[in-house]
Amino acid sequence: MLRRTLGLVTAGSVLAGSVLAACASPTAAPAYRVLVFTRTAGFRHDSIPAGVKAVRDLGRTGGFGVDATEDPAVFEPANLARYKVVMFLNTTGDVLDEGQQGAFEGYIRGGGGYVGVHAAADTEDGWAFYGELVGARFASHPAVQRATVVVADRTHPATAHVGPTWIRTDEWYNFRTNPRGAVQVLATLDESTYSGGTMGADHPIAWYHGVGAGRAFYTGGGHTVEAYGDAAFRDHLLGGIRYAAGA
């Protein structure tokens, strides 16, 4: 009797395992895709690989796919249409030709998303549309140092996870113009907490805005390798990506 009972239990276990295996759902397809563009025609940040890895990690946990490239040939309408967001991650200099610029402008104005990280503000200096998109252009920076970031908007997904002030170490950009009025400022720098700031009491360092039917987010952080291992900064990037994706 015992042997018969054990046989039934074993058979039932096998059957249950088979049913569970059959019902297990496959890995969910990503909700959308992000293109990370890292081409440089000027200074090249050694933090680019760490940045790409961080965005890939965010994609795995955040439910979006990530492709990374330095090839400007991907900037053509049919390919860009595959992505909800294009991120310029520490790009520098002139990285697109006129045809590629036109494709990217059409993508943004038609509803695409843009995320600019750090040296994205030191990119495509002669292209007026890109200046509008990024919000402000790089002027100068002091040495890497710790500073206090004053958070103006704690409802946006890029800054909702931090307090009213956010103390972190980075290379803090000064910009040629103050973007306030053309963008929605998320955070500013308190220049009294570090040396080398040139913008005074109102020094935006992260912002977002609409461009045509598209959405743009920029953060001045992201110079150092260490930034991309910082959970708060990674969540900052994730919130920017989600905003740009309309997610």
What one-letter code names the amino acid at 113?
G
Angle CA 197–159–33, to nearest 5: 110
pLDDT 10s digits, 153-212: 999 999 999 999 999 999 999 999 999 999 999 999 999 999 999 999 999 999 999 999
Domain that includes residue 163, residue range? 33-245
Band of pLDDT at residue 68, cut at 50, 70 and 90: very high
| Residue 13 domain flag | no
pLDDT 10s digits, 227-241: 999 999 999 999 999
Give the E-state strand segments of the chain in sequence order. Answer: 33-37, 65-69, 85-89, 113-117, 138-140, 145-151, 165-170, 174-175, 184-190, 204-211, 214-219
Burial (0-12, 13-18, 19+ Cβ within 10 Å), 15: exposed
Domain count, the chain: 1
Strand pairing partners for 113?
A: 85, 215
Q: What is the pLDDT of residue 28?
A: 75
| Residue 15 domain flag | no
pLDDT 10s digits, 14-33: 333 433 333 333 467 899 99
Q: What sign does the dihedral 90-152-215-29 (CA atoms) show?
A: positive
User: Can you give the CATH number for the domain in which 105 is found?
Assistant: 3.40.50.880
Residue 227 to residue 219: CA distance in whole angstroms: 12
pTM: 0.89
CB 228 within 8 A of CB 50: yes
Q: What is the pLDDT of residue 247?
A: 86
| Residue 9 domain flag | no
What one-letter code names the amino acid at 214?
G
Residue 85 to residue 65: CA distance in whole angstroms: 10
